[in-house]
Chain A
Amino acid sequence: MSTHFFGLTDRTFEYSHSVGRNEFAGTGFRNPVDFALDSDGVAYVLNRSYENRPDGVRITVCTLDEEYVTEFGTYGEEDGNFIWPSGIALDREERLYVTDEWLNRVSIFTRDGEFLGKWGVGGSGDGELDRPAGIAISADQTVYITDSRNGRVQQFTLDGQYLGQFGRPGQGNGEFDLPWGIALGQDGLVYVADWRNDRVQVFTADGQWQASFGRSGSGVGEFNRPNGVAVDADGDICVTDWLNNRVQILAPDGRFLTQLVGDHVMSQWGKDKLVSNPDMIRQRALAYANNPGYERNFAHPCAVKIDSQGRICVLDHTRGRIQVYNKVKEPALV
C-alpha cells in the first residue's frame, strides 16, 4: 500500500483548550495586544481596552489553566500607567517590561505588579523611540525593541542604556515598514514581524540580515500584516497572520509547514459567564446552527508564545482569549 503526501509529516499540532473571555476587568481580556509567559506557566496579558473604558487598560495575570491571579496597571501618564501599551516581555529575573507606543517608554514591574521604574524618550536619534511596539529580552539580558516609526530594531540594557540598532525604513532586505512583533530563537537569531512589508525577517543577534520569509497575500507563505512571532525548540517559526485570521507555521528554513485557523472550545471562564446568563445558551444554539465556524476561528490573532511545555499559545485579539495548541510528534487522528 502506498500513498502520496506532499507536505512535511513529522510534526502536527493539536488544539488543547482556550483561556479567557471578553471582559473589561477580572476574569477576561479586552482587546489584548500581547502577553508574556513566566516559568511557572503564568500569563501576563496586556489589554488595550477601549478609550471610554480606561479601567480596562491593564495587565491580567492568570495561569494557562484559567486560575485568575490578579490584575494591575491603569490608563494614564503617571508612573505605572499606560496609554497605548503594546508589547510585554520578562527578563531572566522575571521582571516585566512593557512598551507603550504613545508614551514612547518602557515600564518595569515585578510579577506582582509593583512598579520598579521606566525609561525611554521620544525621538529618532540613537536610543530614542518613536512608537516602540514589540519587545524581547535575550538570555544575556539584552532588550530588543521594534522602534516602529523609526523603522528599526534597537538594543538596550535592562535599565535602558542604548547598545545598538539595526534596520532602517524601507522595503529592501534588512529594512522595515512599521515592524511590530519580535522574538529570539534559541540559536540567538532575531525574528521580526515586518508588519507593513507583510514578511518576517531574520537577523543575527548583532543585526546581520539572514533571511526574509513571505510576501503580501493570503496564500501559503503569504501574509497580511503579520504582527506576532515566536520560535519553538525545533526552530519552527510561528507567525500570527493578523488580517488573514490565522497562524502560519514555517520550518526553520522558511518553508510553509501548516496553518492554524482556530479550534476554540468554550473556556471555563466562558462557561461561568453563560451559567449566569442561561438565555444566551439558547441563543447560542441557534447561532451555532447558522454559523458553526464563527466562534471557533481566530479573530485577528496578534501574538503567539511558546510555553515551557512547548505549547503554542495564540492570543486571539478580538475574542479576548488565548487558544493553546500542543505540538505532537505522533500525528493526531483527524
Chain B
Amino acid sequence: MADQDVALMAHLLRRAAFGASRDEIEAKVAQGYDNVVEELLTPQERPGIEDDLLMRYQPAYHEAAAIETNIQAWVYRMINNPRQLQEKMALFWHMIFCAGHSKIDSGQEMGRMIQMFRDHGMGNFRDLLYRLSTSPAMVYYLDNNESHKEALNENYGRELLELFSLGVGKDEEFNYSEDDVKACARAFTGWNIAPPYPPFPYGRSPWDFRFDPADHDDSEKTFLGETGNLNGDDVLDIIARQPATARFLARHLYNYFVADDVQIPAWRLTPPADMAAIDALEQAYFDSGYEISAMLRVLFNSDFFKAEGVRYAKVKNPAEMVVSTLRMVGEHREIQPGLFELSQEPKYMGMDLMNPPTVEGWHTGREWIDSGTLVERINFASDLLGNTELPGVQSLVDRLMARGDTLTPDQFVEGCLDLTGPLTVTDDTLTELRSHALKGGDLSHGSPAERADFARRTGEMFQMIAATAEFQFE
C-alpha cells in the first residue's frame, strides 16, 4: 500500500469524517479514494446507527430533557455513525446556524435541531434555510416568536442575512441594506411556535412550528430589489439566488474542510485565500440548484483539497480533537456506559457543544487554543494514546512491531509518527523526539520482557506526539 495513498485517505477522513483507526484508513484505501468520497456523500444508501439498540441500552438518549444527555448522545453518534459526513455536517451547521442551550433551555430541542442538521445538512440549501426558519428552537433563540405584524423584532431577519446566508459583504461591497433587514423581518412575521407542554410533571412536549396568518405582515415589501407581498418563503427564494449566498457557503466550506481562513467578520474586506477554489464551489452551487452535496463533491475531488499544502492546515476544534482521538484508539466504539465524562471534554477545551457563546458562534483556528485549553487538549489526547491496553493503540503497537525485529530509534520515531497520522512535524520537533528515543536505544520484541518494554516506550512516544504543537492540527 503506497504511503501517499494512506496519507491522502487519512487527510480525507480527518476532514470528511472524525478521523479513523489505522485499520479503517487502510481498508478505505483499498476501496479507492473516489469510491470513498461517493460513499461519504450518499449516506442514505448505507446503514446508519441502529436506533432501536441505542434506545434499548441508552434509553435516556431518546427525548432526553437534559442537555448533558443530548450532548452525550451526539458525541456517541460522532464516534459511531457509519455515515460520518452526516455528523461532520451537523457540526458544521451547528457552528454557523448557532442556537444555544443557555437561552433555549431545552436539551431536547437542541437535540432535535442537530438531528435536522444531520438529516438535511447535505441536501438543498434553500430547503435547509426553510427548515432552519421553521425550527422552533431557532425561532425562539432569535426572538421571531416576539416579532409581530404590529411590533417588529428584527433579530431573526438580521441574523438570517448576516450570519446564516449572505454575509455582511463580499469583494468590499455590502450584501444588503438596513431596509432589506427590515423587509426580511417583516416577511417572517407570524412564523411562530405552538405552545408546548411545560417540563413538569411529565416532561416537555416537542416544540412545533406554527404559522399565524393573522400576525403576518402581508403588505408590500422590497427585498434585495424585488418587490411584492413577500413572505418568508419568497425571501428564502431570493436569498438562495444571490451570488453572495454562494460565496458565503463556499467560504464556510473551505474554512471548515480545507484550511483555516480569517474570521468571518473580516470576509467583506479580506478576499478568499484561494479564489479559484471558491469559484469552483460557487459554480457547483448554481449548477446543481443549490445542492450542498454537489459542492462537497467538487471539494473532496479537487486538487486544492488533495494538495499536501493544506494537510494539517487547520487547528482541530475540540469536538474533532476528542472524537478523532477516541476513534483512533478504539474507545467507545460500541454502546457502553461511561461516555458522559468524555462527552464533557469538548467543553473543557472551550467548545460547549449545543451552547455556542453567541449567535456568531465560536472563533476557530488558533483561537481554540489558550494556556488552559492547551493543557486539556494535550492531557486528553496523550492519556488515551499512551494507554496501550486500548484496542486501537494495541493494534498500532502490533503494527509497529511488524515493521521489523529490531527498530532503531529513528525508525521507531518515524513509525510512531506514521501510525498516528501520518503526522508531519517540524525538524525541531523531530530532533527532540529522536533524541528522546535515542536514550532508550534500539527496540526489539523477541522476549516477553522486550515486548513489554517495546509497548511501554511506544505508549510514551505516542504521549509525546500527542503533546506536540503539530498534533493540534488536522
Judge A-B direct contact (beta carbons within 8 Å): yes
B197 engages A284 (CB within 8 Å): yes
Residues of B within 8 A of A180 (CB): 56
A291 engages B200 (CB within 8 Å): no
8 Å CB interface, A177-233 against B: 178, 180, 195-196, 225, 227
User: How far, in angstroms, from A216 to B205 measured CA to CA in the complex?
Assistant: 28
Contact partner of A320 among B53, B202, B337, CB < 8 A? B202
User: How far, in angstroms, from A50 to B65 measured CA to CA in the complex?
Assistant: 10
B68 engages A283 (CB within 8 Å): no
Is A317 close to B, CB under 8 A? yes
Is A246 close to B, CB under 8 A? no
Is A287 close to B, CB under 8 A? yes
B195 engages A286 (CB within 8 Å): yes
User: How far, in angstroms, from A106 to B68 measured CA to CA in the complex?
Assistant: 29
Residue picked from A33, A266, A274, A318, most chain B C-beta under 10 Å: A318
Is A11 close to B, CB under 8 A? no
User: How far, in angstroms, from A315 to B51 measured CA to CA in the complex?
Assistant: 21
User: How far, in angstroms, from A178 to B208 measured CA to CA in the complex?
Assistant: 35
The interface size of chain A toward B, counting residues with CB under 8 Å, comes to 49
A294 engages B59 (CB within 8 Å): no
Residues of A within 8 A of B68 (CB): 50, 52
Question: Contacts A50-B64, A51-B60, A52-B66: A274 and B200 contacting too (C-beta < 8 A)?
Answer: yes
Residues of B within 8 A of A284 (CB): 197-198
A50 engages B60 (CB within 8 Å): yes
User: How far, in angstroms, from A299 to B309 measured CA to CA in the complex?
Assistant: 53
Is B457 close to A, CB under 8 A? no
Residues of A within 8 A of B56 (CB): 178, 180, 195, 225, 227
A295 engages B197 (CB within 8 Å): yes
Question: Contacts A31-B59, A50-B69, A319-B202: A287 and B52 contacting too (C-beta < 8 A)?
Answer: no
User: How far, in angstroms, from A283 to B66 measured CA to CA in the complex?
Assistant: 20
User: How far, in angstroms, from A178 to B203 measured CA to CA in the complex?
Assistant: 29
B201 engages A269 (CB within 8 Å): yes
B340 engages A52 (CB within 8 Å): yes
Task: Write out, one digit per residue, whether chain A residues 86-109 have a CB within 8 A of any chain B CB (1) or not (0).
Answer: 000000000000000110000000
A22 engages B202 (CB within 8 Å): yes
Is B39 close to A, CB under 8 A? no
Residues of A within 8 A of B65 (CB): 22
Q: Which residue of B lies closest to A288 (CB)?
A: B197
Is A25 close to B, CB under 8 A? no
Contact partner of A243 among B52, B63, B72, B200, CB < 8 A? B52
Residues of B within 8 A of A283 (CB): 195, 197-198
User: Chain B contact residues (Cβ within 8 angstroms of A): what range?
Assistant: 20 to 34
Is B448 close to A, CB under 8 A? no
8 Å CB interface, B45-78 against A: 52-53, 55-60, 62-66, 68-69, 72
Task: Write out, one digit per residue, whether chain A residues 18-40 have a CB within 8 A of any chain B CB (1) or not (0).
Answer: 00011100001001010000000
Residues of B within 8 A of A317 (CB): 59
Question: Contacts A284-B197, A286-B195, A287-B196: A48 and B202 contacting too (C-beta < 8 A)?
Answer: no
Q: Which residue of A lies closest to B69 (CB)?
A: A50
Task: Write out, one digit per residue, whether chain A residues 260-294 have a CB within 8 A of any chain B CB (1) or not (0).
Answer: 00000011011001100101100110111111001
Residues of A within 8 A of B196 (CB): 287, 290
User: How far, in angstroms, from A53 to B68 measured CA to CA in the complex?
Assistant: 10
Q: Which residue of A lies closest to B199 (CB)?
A: A280
B337 engages A273 (CB within 8 Å): no
User: How far, in angstroms, from A225 to B56 measured CA to CA in the complex?
Assistant: 10
Residues of A within 8 A of B336 (CB): 102
Task: Write out, one digit per residue, whether chain A residues 295-329 have a CB within 8 A of any chain B CB (1) or not (0).
Answer: 10001100000000000000001111100000000
Q: Which residue of B lies closest to A299 (CB)?
A: B63
B205 engages A319 (CB within 8 Å): no
The prevalent SS among residues of B at the interface is loop
A287 engages B198 (CB within 8 Å): yes
Is A49 close to B, CB under 8 A? yes
Q: Which residue of B lies closest to A131 (CB)?
A: B57
Is A44 close to B, CB under 8 A? no
B203 engages A287 (CB within 8 Å): no
Shortest distance between the CB of B56 and any CB in chain A (Å): 8
User: How far, in angstroms, from A28 to B194 measured CA to CA in the complex?
Assistant: 28
Is A84 close to B, CB under 8 A? yes
Is B390 close to A, CB under 8 A? no
Task: Write out, one digit per residue, whether chain B residues 323-341 have a CB within 8 A of any chain A CB (1) or not (0).
Answer: 0000000000000111110
Shortest distance between the CB of A154 and any CB in chain B (Å): 19
Shortest distance between the CB of B193 and any CB in chain A (Å): 10
B205 engages A294 (CB within 8 Å): yes
User: How far, in angstroms, from A52 to B337 measured CA to CA in the complex?
Assistant: 11
Shortest distance between the CB of B195 and any CB in chain A (Å): 4
Contact partner of B200 among A83, A273, A321, CB < 8 A? A273
Residues of A within 8 A of B53 (CB): 178
Shortest distance between the CB of A206 and any CB in chain B (Å): 29
Question: Contacts A50-B66, A51-B340, A52-B72: A280 and B59 contacting too (C-beta < 8 A)?
Answer: no
A196 engages B52 (CB within 8 Å): yes
Question: Contacts A50-B64, A51-B69: A277 and B195 contacting too (C-beta < 8 A)?
Answer: no
Question: Contacts A48-B59, A48-B60, A49-B60: A21 and B202 contacting too (C-beta < 8 A)?
Answer: yes
User: How far, in angstroms, from A53 to B72 measured CA to CA in the complex?
Assistant: 13
Residues of B within 8 A of A266 (CB): 201
A21 engages B201 (CB within 8 Å): yes
B201 engages A28 (CB within 8 Å): yes
User: How far, in angstroms, from A243 to B51 measured CA to CA in the complex?
Assistant: 11
Question: Contacts A84-B337, A287-B205: A318 and B200 contacting too (C-beta < 8 A)?
Answer: no
A-B contact pairs, 29 of them (CB 8 A): A28-B201, A50-B68, A50-B69, A51-B60, A52-B66, A195-B56, A196-B52, A225-B52, A227-B56, A243-B52, A273-B201, A277-B198, A277-B200, A279-B198, A280-B198, A280-B199, A283-B197, A283-B198, A286-B195, A287-B196, A287-B197, A288-B197, A289-B195, A291-B205, A291-B208, A294-B205, A300-B59, A317-B59, A320-B203
Interface residues of B (CB under 8 A from A): 52-53, 55-60, 62-66, 68-69, 72, 194-203, 205, 208, 336-340
Contacts A195-B56, A291-B194 supplied; 18 other A-B pairs, CB < 8 Å: A22-B201, A31-B60, A48-B60, A50-B60, A50-B64, A51-B60, A51-B338, A51-B339, A51-B340, A83-B337, A225-B52, A269-B201, A287-B195, A291-B197, A291-B205, A291-B208, A317-B59, A320-B202
The 8 A-B pairs at the shortest CB distance, nearest first, are namely A21-B201, A286-B195, A270-B201, A51-B340, A280-B198, A273-B201, A52-B68, A287-B197
